[in-house]
Every structure is written in C-alpha cells, then in structure tokens.
C-alpha cells in the first residue's frame, strides 16, 4: 500500500459484517477486479447477497471493454451477486436498477444507461458494469459499481470525472456509503421484481439524459443524434431524430449536447 493509500481510512469490517445475513460482505486487501472475483464465486456456488469489495482494485473492468483503475482506498469498488428469477426482458433493467440505487445513495443524476453524475457540471462520479454469468445453479447477475469517493483532482482518470470528496468538500465515510448503497440496492431490486413501472418512473425522475439533445456513439462505429425522448420497456434509450423518427438504442456512449437556441 502506498503512503497515499495508508493516509486514507480502510473499510470498517465490523459495520459491514452487521449486514448479514442479507448481505455477506467480503473485503479484499487488493484485487484485479471485484467483478471477476464475484463471478468466480458465483460459478463456485455463492448465494445471492454475496458482496465483494476491495481496498484497491488495480485491473478493474469498465463498460465497452475499458479499464477502470483507482488508487488504494480512494474509491469504492464493489460487486454484488444477484440470482434474479426474472423474465428475460426484465434482466435488461438490472443495469438501470443499479444506477437508481447509486443515484439515490449519493444524490446524483443518471446519464443513460447508468453513469452517475454529480455537481453543478454533472461530472461522472460512478461507473457501473453489470455482467450476466452462467453458473451451475442458473444465470446470475454481478452488479459492479465503482464510486470515486476521495480521489483528488490530480488523481481523476478523465477530465469529466469527479469524486464525492471534491463535490462535497469534506471527507467521505466509504463504509457508510457502502451500507447505504446496499440498502438502496435492496429497495430498487424489490421494485424491479414487484413494481417495474415504479422503478421506471424513478429512473426517469433521476435521469439527466431524457429531455436532452444527445448524440449516441454506437458500438458499430456509427452515431445517432436527436432528442432523448424516453426509455422503452427493455431499458433502451429512445432518441427522436429531427425528422420525427424514433429509434431505440441498447448500447453505446451518450454525449449530452447543448440545447438548440
Ligand atoms: C464504466 O465503464 O463506467 C463502468 C465501470 C465499472 C467499474 C466497477 S468497479 C467494481 C466492479 N469491478 C470491476 O472490475 N468493474 C466494476
């Protein structure tokens, strides 16, 4: 652990152990990727409710095959194992559901599908990567959540990133953020299972994207510009183009554009 890492407080194991039996939290001193570890535990038979977190993730995975690295103890890198018994079309809502839980935890806004933005300039403070894993006990979902807690401006990976500490101007209780996050995940997951329309309404209320002019940069290399006009039942972003045609986008990077005068 570097000198910088040692200056930052470690996670409080006792507070996290108190969340059992709902959540079984495993804290790793360091790891490549909490998603990779959680997925392996799932294949080995771990039950729903396993939470893998770490003091230092040094080869984390991001969306669209990007890397997600963070200095020791400066961020919360956490993966939550769920074993949803949902119809296939509702699995596509898991990434959005995780976004709702994080946005509620840190009072952020959502850039579709699930980047969480904070501050007057709406900078990215959290990234989420949800992976579906095939296991002997059936399909499982790993919700991978990375929240920048105490990164300083010179540690930020991209210009449009921020951290809780930068925005709040005070030290962040990383353990407290994780405790609240897990409670919010439990609530949002219950909505996904029992009241998906309410979850969809909650998502829209937190969305910084819907209503904006956007450009979607598609995995195929193409792009689509228009007004983000809603979210469809599969969690895809609806983009209405200037000619009135509406298209649903299921994957890609969204750029928020300035409104037209
Ligand atoms: C993104 O590209 O915005 C998503 C980043 C997701 C990072 C988190 S950190 C915890 C979990 N483990 C990983 O390897 N990735 C996710």
pLDDT digits (tens, 9 = 90+) for 104-143: 999 999 999 999 999 999 999 999 999 999 999 999 999 9
Does residue 5 surpass a pLDDT of 60? no
Does residue 3 surpass a pLDDT of 50? no
Residue 4 confidence (pLDDT): 52
Q: What is the 3-state secondary structure (H, E, C) of 78-144?
A: EEEEECCCCCHHHHCCHHHHHHHHHHHHHCCEEECCCEEEECCCCEEEEEEEEEEEEECCEEEEEEE
67-93 average pLDDT score: 95
Question: With a threshold of 0.75, does the pTM exceed it?
Answer: yes
214-224 average pLDDT score: 95
- Map residue 145 onto helix, strand or coil: strand
- Cα of 122 to ligand 1 centre, how many Å? 19
- Cα of 113 to ligand 1 centre, how many Å? 14
Structure tokens at 168: 């709040």
Convert the pLDDT of each residue in 170-194 to its tens digit: 999 999 999 999 999 999 999 999 9
Atom of ligand 1 nearest to the CA of 59: 14
144-164 average pLDDT score: 95
Which of the listed residues 30, 40, 59, 68 should we mutate to test ligand 1's pocket, taking the one with most ligand atoms within 8 A of CB? 68
Which of the listed residues 26, 144, 177, 217 should we mutate to test ligand 1's pocket, taking the one with most ligand atoms within 8 A of CB? 144
Which of the listed residues 30, 129, 163 should we mutate to test ligand 1's pocket, taking the one with most ligand atoms within 8 A of CB? 129
As a whole number of angstroms, the distance between CA 147 and CA 68 comes to 11
Atom of ligand 1 nearest to the CA of 115: 3
Strand partners, 24: 50
- Cα of 125 to ligand 1 centre, how many Å? 12
- Cα of 259 to ligand 1 centre, how many Å? 31
Structure tokens at 164: 């809780």
100 and 186 in contact (C-beta within 8 Å)? no
- Cα of 131 to ligand 1 centre, how many Å? 10
CA-closest residue to ligand 1 atom 7 = 146
- Cα of 151 to ligand 1 centre, how many Å? 16
Structure tokens at 69: 């690295």
Which of the listed residues 60, 111, 130, 147 should we mutate to test ligand 1's pocket, taking the one with most ligand atoms within 8 A of CB? 60
As a whole number of angstroms, the distance between CA 256 and CA 29 comes to 37
- Cα of 77 to ligand 1 centre, how many Å? 7
Counts for the chain of helices (H) and strands (E), in that order: 8, 14
Residue 52 confidence (pLDDT): 98
C-alpha distance across the termini of the chain, in Å: 51
Convert the pLDDT of each residue in 30-50 to its tens digit: 999 999 999 999 999 999 999
Atom of ligand 1 nearest to the CA of 35: 12
């Amino acid at each position: 652990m570097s000198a910088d890492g040692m200056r930052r407080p470690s996670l409080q194991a006792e507070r996290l152990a108190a969340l059992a039996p709902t959540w079984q939290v495993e804290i790793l001193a360091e790891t490549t990727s909490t998603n990779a570890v959680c997925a392996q535990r799932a294949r080995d038979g771990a039950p729903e409710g396993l939470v893998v977190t770490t003091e230092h993730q040094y080869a984390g995975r991001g969306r669209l095959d990007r890397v997600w690295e963070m200095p020791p103890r400066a961020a919360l890198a956490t993966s939550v194992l769920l074993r949803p018994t949902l119809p296939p079309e509702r699995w596509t809502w898991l990434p959005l559901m995780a976004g709702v839980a994080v946005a509620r935890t840190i009072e952020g806004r959502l850039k579709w599908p699930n980047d969480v933005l904070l501050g007057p300039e709406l900078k990215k403070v959290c990234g989420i990567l949800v992976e579906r894993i095939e296991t002997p006990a059936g399909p499982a979902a790993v919700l991978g959540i990375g929240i920048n807690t105490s990164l300083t401006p010179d540690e930020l990976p991209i210009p449009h990133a921020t951290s809780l500490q930068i925005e709040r101007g005070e030290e962040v209780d990383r353990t407290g953020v994780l405790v609240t996050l897990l409670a919010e995940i439990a609530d949002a997951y219950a909505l996904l299972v029992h009241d998906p329309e309410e979850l969809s309404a909650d998502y829209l209320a937190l969305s910084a994207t819907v209503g904006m002019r956007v450009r979607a940069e598609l995995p195929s290399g193409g792009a689509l510009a228009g007004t983000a006009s809603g979210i469809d039942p599969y969690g895809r972003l609806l983009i209405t183009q200037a000619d009135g045609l509406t298209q649903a986008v299921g994957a890609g990077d969204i750029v928020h554009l300035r409104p037209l005068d």
